[in-house]
Chains A and B, each alone.
Chain A
């Protein structure tokens, strides 16, 4: 008797399971399409004849494929310079920030370190109370960092959140017991940190490098505040001038005498915009797809309290 009701329920729930699976799958596919379509559109627009793009004819596949947009982009000196600068900031800045973060996170992860509590409080305070934009600007100015490439490597270079994530990684149990064993063996803190802890902490090292590098690559605000000269500008500032401005209004368009030249210019600019988005985002997308696990891990670790 009881067996029958049990199996009866099982059939009911399995039908429910199927319905549920169908619904969730549909929802997920819709979510993926909402994310993917704009990205896909940008790619096909970057290699299509701009006339079709401007006329809104483009929808599912590229029309009249041309790479003239990309050819123009690669000749655009400011953009290429920004590209080069951003690689420098992402790699050098990422490495510098990650190194210092790892260094500081280790002492903070040691429960018997006499400075653990004061330093933790010292760092946490800055998460909730900041001097603000102008006082920081004054400090950077006084140090003579404005209009130097170092400013982007240093300012906001250490993020407390990343420190906490690294600390909680070092704190996980198997690592703590290892540290105790090393101490009994007469291993110094340096010896333990560099020879034992770092070699087994590859995931967090990579995660930190990636987080800082992606942040450096995508940040524009500090450059906008601290850099005036084009030489050191990162890619995002060049992009900002190209992309994030409202279009030429139609009033100005009508006023322009040489309409044909302007139309041609706008036409080329339109196609270039799509191409610029592709080449600016591609490096980060490649890094993301290869290193996805590390990003996910870093974010999940950050949500663990303590």
Chain B
């Protein structure tokens, strides 16, 4: 063992270590500088790409143009927010975003849970493994490809879905262009893509259930459905609550990229949402300040919702995100 430097400091009368001493002790003697060095790149990264943009939020309150520095742009207060709240786009975006988000949440939520319970109830390990492998696969298909597949399968002239409809005497439907179909196509293609992926989390919670519980239930004469109801579902409740909380915190953040890809000029009535509008106003029309104001409005509402839902959850189930 090598002589320890800090031991000599502690020897003899113990003076109260000064702050400088304590810092030196932690940093040098205990080698914490190495830990700081390891985390440094990520901290710098976050300062530049997450915190610097937060500083840039102030352009929502200024009349900003890209040629001048932010501080030189004229302060206009809540002008842009007022303009947005008064514009006819606001009610439409709000309605579309909320409907799409909740539709996606409530349809999408039960599938992975039901799927995980079925997997857990299946005795044949080979079938379980195979089904898991298959259903997880769509997660690895990119959004661009997925939307491409939708265009191919749902095409009014050559798509297999319309051929099927035609064979039972239904006129072809232009799913990707008609506004009333947008939400259904969005939600159910999303279910197709993510159910297997999300089921993994619930399945992991289920497989960690103490098998003794099932044995005890069997001796008590519980049916399989009773076991699902009284053992399986309670055991995934914490996971479920966490997932729900995270989803609610993102209500206005419903997948911008997916929506953008699925938009067509004719389905904008239902498919224009906050995220896509922020993109168009900001990067296509280059109205930087206005776009940022809408974005900030969205973020603040999301954050408020998350805090409210988290508080409620804390009271009711003792589950919370923080």
Asked if chains A and B come from one complex, the reply is yes
Give me the interface of A with B, judged by CB distance under 8 Å. Answer: 6, 9, 13, 16-17, 20-21, 24-25, 27-28, 31-32, 34-36, 38-39, 41-42, 53-56, 58, 100-101, 103-104, 106-108, 110, 113-115, 119, 122-124, 126, 128-139, 141, 143, 154-158, 163, 186, 188-190, 193, 214, 217-221, 225, 236, 239-240, 242-247, 250, 270, 273-274, 276-277, 280-281, 284-285, 287-289, 292, 295-296, 299-300, 302-303, 305
A106 touches B38 (CB 8 A): yes
A100 touches B2 (CB 8 A): no
Contact of B56 among A58, A135, A217 (CB under 8 A): A135
> With A16-B224, A218-B141 given, can you name 15 additional A-B contacts, CB distance below 8 Å?
A21-B122, A31-B195, A39-B138, A115-B35, A130-B53, A131-B56, A132-B57, A134-B288, A193-B38, A221-B257, A236-B142, A239-B145, A240-B261, A243-B144, A247-B157
B135 touches A32 (CB 8 A): yes
Question: Which chain B positions have C-beta within 8 A of A273?
Answer: 148, 152
A28 touches B283 (CB 8 A): no
Query: B118 an interface residue at 8 Å Cβ cutoff?
Result: yes
Contact sample, A vs B, 29 pairs, CB 8 Å cutoff: A13-B218, A16-B224, A17-B224, A21-B124, A24-B122, A56-B163, A104-B38, A104-B42, A106-B35, A106-B38, A115-B35, A131-B51, A132-B299, A134-B295, A135-B59, A138-B53, A139-B52, A158-B42, A193-B38, A221-B260, A236-B142, A243-B145, A246-B151, A247-B155, A273-B152, A277-B148, A277-B149, A300-B201, A303-B205
Closest to B35 in A: A107
Closest to A276 in B: B148
Query: B49 an interface residue at 8 Å Cβ cutoff?
Result: yes
Question: Which chain A positions have C-beta within 8 A of B279?
Answer: 133
Given A35-B135, A114-B32, CB of A299 within 8 Å of CB of B197 = yes
Given A114-B26, A133-B295, CB of A100 within 8 Å of CB of B41 = yes
Closest to A301 in B: B204
Closest to B223 in A: A16
Give me the interface of B with A, judged by CB distance under 8 Å. Answer: 1-2, 26, 31-32, 34-36, 38-39, 41-43, 45-46, 48-57, 59, 66, 70, 115, 118-119, 121-124, 127-128, 130-138, 140-145, 147-149, 151-153, 155, 157-160, 163, 166, 176-177, 192, 195-197, 200-201, 204-205, 218-219, 221, 223-224, 239, 242, 249, 256-257, 260-261, 264, 278-279, 282-283, 288, 291-292, 295-296, 299, 302-303, 306, 322
* Bound: A13/B215 CA distance, A: 12
* Bound: A220/B143 CA distance, A: 8
Contact of B142 among A21, A281, A287, A292 (CB under 8 A): A281
A247 touches B151 (CB 8 A): yes
